Amino acid sequence: MTLISSMKNQKTQKYFLVSDIYGGRFRRQPREFNSVYELYVALLQTQGLRVSVARNSMETEGGLPVLSVGEQLEVVCCKSLKLPHQSNIGKEESVEALLCRRLPEPGYMDDDDDDDDDDECLELENQEVILPLYMQSHFVEVLSDNKKYRLKDLGKTFSLPLDVKVVNRDTELQNDPLLGLPGLRIERVLLEPTILASFLHSPEHCFEIPAKWISMHVSFTTDPLPWPNNHTPDCLVESVTEVANTFFYELCKKDNTYAPPPPRPPKSYNNPSSQQVDKPQKHQAQKSIPLEKFVDLTLDVKRRPPAVLPSVSMNV
């Protein structure tokens, strides 16, 4: 059985338990990454990862590279490098970074008129780009695969999780709940023993029950089956079952019992501009009046001068 969820950017996220007999066809969808660290996590699962820059990134004092929208990069590996320190000028720090290679723009070899432009493109193709893991940017995966896959073939060909979309519905289902969703993520594949069951009033509509996850008491009866002997009806199995989020996360937790912990996120570095903003606050704190000067202003009874008593005349 396969665990599938809808994308998190939708209003209500849905979770499904899909059987291996599901007959719909899927097509891969490009993944989106909001930081270089997310690229690093994807690189651990996907070799030959290629992405397109979706947000401009200007060069800063910290040595971050200049990236332009539409520029394509091939992620090669992760390594430890020496980069200029962002706060201490003149010093270097050891950071984890992704080594990437710029890719030529699609179709640049089609134009044979300008040889100088071709030479510049070849130079850019061999140029290496260093992306620190703490760098924030936006990337979109570049896919050249436009094939349609069955569910069982996706798990054998690609590593999970995998972003997909249903392009052909399962014709055996009257209403395919996966069709029409803008994006799906195949989380993982589970080997779970299931029981094929149906209700007496509709024995032809069958469904699978995960035996380890359903607690129930059953009893055998002597009532005859609702069909003639040796004439078992053709079963129509519901291959897609929508489940609650609690059940979905319990299945994920069970499958990850012996999985290694995820890599630690990179250390976040403060922007030098933010440090300059904090300096006036420190300067204002130094101008504050010390507490010792308020001592003479306190209402202390012992230090108060004696009160002058009014004169009283006594007539005898």
d(CA 238, CA 208): 8
pLDDT tens for residues 169-219? 998 888 899 998 888 999 888 787 888 888 888 888 888 887 877 777 888
My answer on whether 151 and 134 are in the same domain is: no
Residue with more model confidence, 88 or 45: 45
Q: Find the range with the poorest average confidence among 106-110, 166-170, 213-217, 219-223.
A: 106-110
Q: Is the residue at 231 inside a domain?
A: yes
Kindly report the pTM of this predicted structure: 0.65
Q: Which of 8-12, 26-30, 178-182, 273-277 is predicted least confidently?
A: 273-277
Per-residue pLDDT, 238: 84
- pLDDT for 275 equals 46
Please compute the mean of the pLDDT values over residues 225-249 and round it to a whole number.
81
- Read off the tokens for 314: 């006594």
Tell me, yes or no, whether 180 and 42 share the same domain: no
Give burial (CB, 10 Å; 0-12/13-18/19+) of 22: buried
The pair phi, psi for residue 26, each rounded to 5°, is -115, 155
Highest mean pLDDT among 100-109, 110-119, 233-242: 233-242
For 29-33, 175-179, 298-302, which range has the lowest pLDDT when averaged over its residues? Answer: 298-302
C-alpha distances in Å from residue 276, one per residue of 135, 270, 272, 280: 20, 11, 7, 8
Angle at 106 between CA 100 and CA 107, to 5 degrees: 145
Angle (CA) 190 172 22, round 5°: 15
Evaluate whether 42 touches 31 at the Cβ level (below 8 Å): yes
Cα distance between residue 277 and residue 68, in whole Å: 29
60 to each of 66, 75, 90, 101, 138, how far by Cα in Å? 9, 22, 15, 20, 17
In a shared domain, residues 136 and 178: no
What count of residues does the chain have?
A: 316
Sheet harboring 202-210: ordered strands across?
Answer: 194-199, 202-210, 236-238
> Is the pLDDT assigned to residue 166 strictly greater than 90?
yes
Percent of the chain with pLDDT over 70: 69
Q: Over 80: is that where the pLDDT of 82 sits? A: no
Same domain, 204 and 232: yes
pLDDT of residue 27: 92
Q: Is residue 82 part of a domain?
A: yes
Q: Please state, in angstroms and rounded to a whole number, the distance separating the CA atoms of residues 28 and 156.
A: 14
Residue 69, domain member (yes or no): yes
Count the domains in the chain.
2
Does residue 25 surpass a pLDDT of 90? yes
76 and 155 fall within a common domain: no
* Residue-range definition of the domain harbouring residue 66: 33-106+126-142
How far apart, in whole angstroms, are the C-alpha atoms of residue 251 and residue 247? 6
Where does a domain end: 259, 288, 305?
A: 259
Are residues 82 and 43 located together in one domain of the fold? yes
Assess whether 65 and 5 both reside in one domain. no
185, 160 contact by CB (below 8 A): no
184 and 134 housed in the same domain: no
Residue 46 has pLDDT above 70, yes or no: yes
Please indicate, yes or no, whether residues 47 and 148 belong to a single structural domain of this protein. Answer: no
